[in-house]
Amino acid sequence: MACAHIEKGQMPDALAIMEYRILLEFEPENHEVRNMLGMALYRQGKLDEAEQEFNFVLTLDPKNFDAIDALGLVKIQQGKLDHAVDLFKKAIYINPGDLLVYYHLGQVLERLGNIDSAIKIYRTGLNLKPAAEQDGSYVEQRQQLIEALKNISEKQ
């Protein structure tokens, strides 16, 4: 598969973007590749282009969790925090078992000064039971939530 090196994180984003665009020439409606392109663009600070990619996915699949969550990240960087909150809440509704989206939502709520809601969201994420199969990121994501709660407690 042409994406093999990209998926393993072995290619710089600039090259990955080029490869994703080539792949999309052959499969323009491939949600996975388009989401990966959007994330690579996001990491490069190309927020408008990233937003276009995620919105394209959402026109084809309005409940695409990855596109909704990633679009929330874009909205944070654009300073559209209220919109980011809405997107993260929608992502949680679609996939309530993903710990990282609770972290994302909590971070935005903190920035908005809604500390009590942020604490509640972090705790909700921490109380989730892991699915039978995990990709190894569960422990790392859980640690992010613990650190966020610790940091918010120190600020109070």
Distance CA 101, CA 87 (A): 10
For 92, the token pair is 């949680």
| Assigned CATH for 1-79 | 1.25.40.10
The per-residue pLDDT for 2 is 45
Residues 6+ apart with CB under 8 A from 97: 128, 131
The two three-digit tokens of residue 147, written as one number: 């650190």
Q: What is the distance between the alpha carbons of residues 108 and 40, in angstroms, rounded to a whole number?
A: 22
How high is the pLDDT of residue 130? 67
Q: Contact, 29 vs 60, CB < 8 A?
A: yes
DSSP-H helix ranges across the chain: 4-7, 13-26, 31-43, 47-60, 65-77, 81-94, 99-111, 115-126, 138-155
Domain boundaries, the chain: 1-79, 96-156
> Along the chain (156 residues), what's the average pLDDT of each consecutive run of 10 residues?
47 90 96 97 97 98 98 98 98 94 97 96 88 66 89 84
pTM greater than the 0.75 cutoff:
yes
CB 30 within 8 Å of CB 53: no
User: Whats the size of the chain, residue-wise?
Assistant: 156
Torsion of CA 44, 91, 137, 2, to 10 degrees: -50
Contact 44, 13 (CB under 8 A): yes
Give the Å distances, CA to CA, from 8 to 12, 124, 141, 151: 11, 31, 19, 31
Specify the pLDDT at position 136.
67
